[in-house]
């Protein structure tokens, strides 16, 4: 069912990753994590009021370069097929990406400095939400089939 | 800028909250948190393969009953205006909701048992992502203006 839903780009994301092939497996795969920037369009900049003091944000963005959805596939580092909802693959029915990022303050009006992104440069921004440890942090969460893998560095499908 | 982006409903969310006015302030405000259900449409159910074993999920949904966006407003429990991107208000430029939920297994094919939702019954589901503690958990995150409030029970704007 198609929703009567039109998404509006509220800005764009600047990363060092020029193409999907350049993107790391997840936003914490690179050490040190590179500085990225979120450019919020002027019309939406009033919505940033009060964002200072949050150490982390949730960015929601449109994976505009994602290939067609793939409901079931075998991840490159796995031996068995997995459903897309058990992975963070960009090839989702709705190509919406989400990252928990470290927020390092404003570089200029409407320009946020962040780390831990893995999306391509120029990705359209859909939303910024404050990260709330009281509802968003589950440090003991079990990671299903990903948790069963050898404890690598920040595995993420 | 409007994106060339059509969202597809992949299912719907069942909660005990019949109208927006019945919804708690956040998904952890009720103790005990009520059982909710995620009904995934048959066409998308293959995408659930391998979801067992994840203790927590991130649900992304369309806030179809949200009022018009409000970029700056004074939260009901606050004395100062805040930008919407510093709150979890549903009145966002793109009314996309997001909750970290506890996943308690399948009740039937395509029906997930979850807790910690605060959205209205019948909310259209957009995406299910596995929660990864390695990239999503920030238990020490500072909560900006929300953190400065008296330490209430799971504050969330």
Residue from the list B2, B53, B100 with its beta carbon closest to the beta carbon of A8: B2
From the candidates B2, B29, B49, which should be mutated to test the interface with A, based on the most A CB atoms within 10 A? B49
Which chain B residues are closer than 8 Å to A84 by Cβ? 47
Map out the domains of chain B with their CATH numbers: 11-147 (2.40.30.70)
ipTM of the complex as predicted = 0.93
Residue of A nearest to B73 (CA): A47
Say whether pLDDT at B41 is over 70: yes
E strand spans, A49-137: 56-62, 72-73, 82-83, 96-108, 111-115, 123-130
- The answer for residues whose C-beta is within 8 angstroms of residue A124's C-beta and 6 or more apart is A9, A11, A12, A13, A61, A62, A64, B1, B3
Contact state of A135 with B156 under an 8 Å Cβ cutoff = yes
From the candidates B99, B132, B148, B150, which should be mutated to test the interface with A, based on the most A CB atoms within 10 A? B132
Give me chain B's average pLDDT, please. 92
pLDDT per position as a tens digit, B99-147: 999 999 999 999 999 999 999 999 999 999 999 999 999 999 999 999 8
Write the Ramachandran bin of A60: left for phi over 0, alpha for psi from -120 to 50, otherwise beta.
beta
| B118 close to A134: Cβ distance less than 8 angstroms | no
Say whether pLDDT at A6 is over 90: no
3-class SS of residue A112: strand
| Predicted TM-score (pTM) of this structure | 0.93
Residue from the list A8, A50, A140 with its beta carbon closest to the beta carbon of B93: A8
Q: Name which of A76, A57, A78 is nearest B136 in CA terms.
A: A57
């Amino acid at each position: 069912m198609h929703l009567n839903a039109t998404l509006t780009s509220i800005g764009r994301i600047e990363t060092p990753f020029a193409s999907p092939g350049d993107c790391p497996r997840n936003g914490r795969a690179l050490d040190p994590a590179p500085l990225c920037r979120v450019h919020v369009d002027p019309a939406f900049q009033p919505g940033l009021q009060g964002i200072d003091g949050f150490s982390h944000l949730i960015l929601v963005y449109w994976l505009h370069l994602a290939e067609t959805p793939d409901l079931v596939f075998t991840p490159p580092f796995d031996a068995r097929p997995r459903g897309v909802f058990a992975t963070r693959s960009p090839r989702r029915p709705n190509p919406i990406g989400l990252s928990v990022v470290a927020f390092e303050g404003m570089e200029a009006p409407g320009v946020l400095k962040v780390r831990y992104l893995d999306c391509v440069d120029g990705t359209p921004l859909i939303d910024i939400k404050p990260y709330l440890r009281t509802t968003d942090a589950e440090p003991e969460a079990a990671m299903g089939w990903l948790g069963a893998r050898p404890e690598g560095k920040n595995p993420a499908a």
